[in-house]
Structures are given as structure tokens and as C-alpha cells.
A and B are shown apart, each in its own frame.
Chain A
Amino acid sequence: MVGVEDDLIAAGAEIIWVLEADASGVPGTAASCMAFFDQFPVVYGITSDQGWCVGDAETMPTPGTFDASPFSVARGFDMVVPRSNMTIVYSTSHGTPSGNDNPTGADVLADVQAIIAGL
């Protein structure tokens, strides 16, 4: 069965998972990112056998940059960047606190496909 992640790849999008912190609040690493997805194979409707896993504790030049992003509303966020200009053209937020957009995987896929079609 083809999942949302396969449709993202087929559309021409590569996924980069950035773990801000683990379940204990410890800043994320590439290793803890992999462990998280092994424990929770489906996140926001997107299965986790696609994309690259990195940890925000290892973000250079400034660790914690994604956790401190203005796109985040107390929790996580998504953003889309075309390779051709490396400009942020899309952002959405997700998490239990109020004010988050909380799109589904299908919503993100539709937005990405529209962005690629417009390049």
C-alpha cells in the first residue's frame, strides 16, 4: 500500500525529520530521532520509513534552532523549501496546544504538490 510519504517522494519532495527533544525533554539527536520513530512508526499520518533523521541538539551553527523557531507554537512545525532558491515558501504548525494548525499528512501532501507544480 502506498503511503503519504511515498507520495511525497514521488512528487519530488525529500523529508527531513528534526527531533527537537525526546520524551524526557532531552534535546534531540540523530540517534534519538531514529529511536523515536522506531517507537512510533506513524507520526501525523505519515509513516516513518522515508526521509532523513537529525537531532536539533546537533543543529549547526546553533543547536536548538528549530525548537526556538518562530514557526513553532509551543510544539512542532513543518516548512517547505525549494532547492532552487532555498527560500521558505510554506510553514504550518502542529501540537496539542491551541493555535496550532495540525494538518494531516494528506493536507501536507496536497500543499507540497501545489508548491512543486508552481515552481
Chain B
Amino acid sequence: MKAFSLLPLLVLLGCPTTDPPPDESDTDADSDSDTDADSDTDTDADSDTDADADTDADADADSDTDTDADSDTDADADADSDTDADADADADTDADTDADTDTDTDTDTDPVACYPSGAVEPMTINEVLTPYSWPIAHHRDGIRSGPLDLQHVPCASDPVIDWSPFDVLVFISIPAW
């Protein structure tokens, strides 16, 4: 009973009976302000990107400076290469020493290398003669004397006796009695 009697009174006082209509207008206003805020943020991001580009330009300038510094470093490297050339000269000295050693070895080895292998003892026809030697030999001309080593005969490398004019040796073994 009291409810029916109060309703007309409220209408007459102008009091709103529902909340939704005023709420919808407020929501529209809020969404507009949010959109503006977002656009401002995007603009700032773009300016940040430009700032980055400027930073790159600065980096290029720095790299030019670095290149100059590298040139200086190369000059130092040239000085180092001169030092290497000196080291090469030392290597040449070593090579000369090796060559001398080879020469000595060849001189000592040649007579042995030239004498044929397969000598047979006792002496046998159609077999290689043992490379006998004598500590002293006298030529019948009464002038020449020296050691006689058959190892030198094939290569004619004897420092005292020149075997090169001869094709064969004739051994004449004699008893004196």
C-alpha cells in the first residue's frame, strides 16, 4: 500500500528512477581520452627511433677515427717485417753450414760408394777383388810414393795416384827366391 503512494511523489520530485543512461555517456568520454593518450605514445616512439639514427651517425664518425688509428698500427707492422728479414738472413747461414757438411760427407763416402759390392775371399776368377790396401807404395820411377788403396781405383779418387789413364790393373805377384 505504501509503495503505490510513494511512486508518484518521486516522479514529481524529479528523482531518476534508473542509473544506465548517465553511465553510458561517461564511458564514451573515457574511451576518447584513452585514444589520445595512445597516439601521443606512438609519436614519442618515433622520436626515439630518430635518436637512434643519430647515434648511428656518431658511430660512423667514430669508425673513421679508428681507421686512422689502424694506419698507425700498420706502420708498426712494417717495422716488424724488417726484423723478420734479419731472421731470414740467419736461416741462410744455417743452410751454408749444412752444405759444408754434405761436402765433407761426399768426400769421405765416394770411394766406398764407387767400389763394387760382392768381393770374394779368397780371390777367385770372375769375382770382385777385395779392395786391398797398402800403407806405402813406391813407384818404380823412384820419385812417387804414398799409400795405395784399391777403393779409390774405380772412381780415380786417390789423392796421390791418378788411376784415370788406365782401363785395367795388372798385378804381378812374385817371390824373390
Q: What is the interface of chain A, defined by CB distance below 8 A to chain B?
A: 8, 12-25, 28, 30-34, 36-37, 43-44, 46, 48-56, 58-61, 65-72, 75-91, 95, 108, 112, 115-116, 119
Contact indicator A58/B135 (Cβ below 8 Å): yes
Q: What CA separation (Å) do A50 and B142 show in the bound complex?
A: 10
Q: Shortest Cβ distance from B112 into chain A, in angstroms?
A: 13
Which label, helix, strand, loop or mixed, suits the secondary structure of the B interface?
Answer: loop
CB neighbours (8 Å) of B168 from chain A are: 12-14, 80-83, 112, 115-116, 119
**If the complex has contacts A52-B140, A85-B128, A88-B124, are A78 and B134 also in contact, measured as CB distance less than 8 A?**
no
**If the complex has contacts A52-B148, A83-B167, are A19 and B134 also in contact, measured as CB distance less than 8 A?**
no
Which label, helix, strand, loop or mixed, suits the secondary structure of the A interface?
Answer: mixed
Of B9-17, B33-41, B115-123, the one contacting chain A is B115-123
CB neighbours (8 Å) of A34 from chain B are: 138, 140
**If the complex has contacts A54-B148, A70-B124, are A16 and B172 also in contact, measured as CB distance less than 8 A?**
yes
Contact indicator A119/B167 (Cβ below 8 Å): yes
CB neighbours (8 Å) of B170 from chain A are: 8, 13-16, 51, 78-80, 108, 112
Identify 17 new A-B residue pairs, CB closer than 8 A, beyond the known A13-B168, A13-B170.
A12-B166, A14-B170, A17-B172, A17-B174, A19-B174, A20-B174, A22-B177, A34-B140, A36-B176, A54-B137, A70-B122, A76-B175, A80-B170, A86-B150, A88-B123, A88-B128, A95-B175
Q: What CA separation (Å) do A116 and B169 show in the bound complex?
A: 11
Q: Shortest Cβ distance from B59 into chain A, in angstroms?
A: 85
Can you list 12 A-B pairs, Cβ within 8 angstroms, ordered by A?
A19-B175, A22-B176, A28-B176, A52-B161, A65-B130, A75-B174, A76-B172, A80-B171, A81-B129, A81-B168, A83-B153, A86-B153
Q: What CA separation (Å) do A69 and B120 show in the bound complex?
A: 12
Which 8 A-B pairs give the minimum distances between C-beta atoms? A12-B167, A14-B166, A54-B134, A76-B174, A18-B173, A66-B173, A20-B175, A52-B137
Contact indicator B167/A79 (Cβ below 8 Å): no
Q: What CA separation (Å) do A17 and B176 show in the bound complex?
A: 12
CB neighbours (8 Å) of A33 from chain B are: 138
Is B127 interfacial (CB 8 A cutoff)? yes
